[in-house]
Amino acid sequence: MKKNRFVLLLIFVVAFMSCSKHEGEGGTSTIKGTVIVTLVSDDFQRVYAIFPDEEAEVYIVYGDDEFYGDNIETQYDGTFQFQYLRKGKYQVFAYSDDETGQSISGKKPVFKNVEITKNGQNLIVTPIEIYNQVSNYEGSSTITGKLFALDYNAEMTILKDSFYVKDEYVYIAREGDGYYFERIKTYYDGSFTFPALPQGKYEIYAYGRDFTGHDPQDLVPYIVYDSITANKQTVDVGRIRIIN
């Protein structure tokens, strides 16, 4: 008789434990989503680019827990997924630069609420949209090119020579900013490289004599425009031609 009571008690405990399982790992469901980042200026007034955010940290909160239960990085296309989840309520979030200015840290979490109601569900949350006040060296792409000079006489009437220019400054700016954020000198063959750039539109320029102005000794910028449209991209702007 005692043995039967023990068996019944054991069955009751197992049943109770299985019924009391809360949110977290150990299930068969998946939560998926995408993080979309908007690159903006320091004052949030200019939008430089909008694209899926690679290697963004995404966090998941199980039920009413005060702390996140797990975190992962997004893939190259901005996607993420949390697998092997049980039924229950969850929050997924990523951190954004705070456009309201109310956060002491300058960051705020952007939450998405989701509920798993049955086993084996594959739920897709709406995109997590975040802001990033861009630092010009947080990207993975590169802009390259060469500086080429046309050497005219003082009166700008005779082309004496043409050549690639070494040891001369080339500048890079975000289109619309009106100021450069970096300058580098060209190599012996006139080449230049700006590494670690995020997506967006750029102006790349160097200074040369004003071919059309009244004073040919005036220096003016010779600008080429190009865009980085993907991570880990190399953009070759070709030659920047200046008048020497």
Q: Tens digit of pLDDT per residue, the chain (244 long)?
A: 544 554 444 444 444 444 456 888 889 999 999 999 999 988 898 899 999 999 999 999 999 999 999 999 999 999 999 999 999 999 999 999 999 889 899 999 999 999 999 999 999 999 999 999 987 667 899 999 999 999 988 888 889 999 999 999 999 999 988 899 999 999 999 999 999 999 999 999 999 998 876 665 688 999 999 999 998 999 999 999 999 8
Cα 54 to chain centroid distance, Å, stands at 6
Q: How many residues does the chain have?
A: 244
Q: Rounded to an integer, what distance in angstroms lies between the CA atom of residue 123 and that of residue 129?
A: 18
Distance, CA of 185 to CA of 193 (rounded, Å): 9
CATH code for 141-243?
2.60.40.10
- What span, in angstroms and rounded, lies between the C-alpha atoms of 142 and 220? 25
Question: Is there a shared CATH topology between the 22-133 domain and the 141-243 domain?
Answer: yes
CA-closest candidate to residue 84, choices 20, 21, 31: 31
Give 22-133's CATH code, choosing from 2.60.40.10, 3.90.960.10, 1.25.40.10, 2.160.20.60. Answer: 2.60.40.10
Cross-strand bridge partners of residue 90: 62, 114
Type of residue numbered 233:
Q
**Residue 201 to residue 216: CA distance in whole angstroms:** 31
Report the amino acid identity of residue 1. M
39 CB-contact burial (10 Å; exposed 0-12 / middle 13-18 / buried 19+): buried
Among the listed residues 100, 30, 107, the one whose alpha carbon sits nearest the alpha carbon of residue 72: 30
- Domain locations along the chain: 22-133, 141-243
Q: How far is C-alpha 95 from the chain's CA centre?
A: 13
The answer to whether the beta carbons of residues 100 and 54 sit under 8 Å apart is no
Q: What is the pLDDT of residue 21?
A: 66
* Cβ count near 27 (within 10 Å): 18
* Contact call for residues 33 and 128 (beta carbons, < 8 A): yes
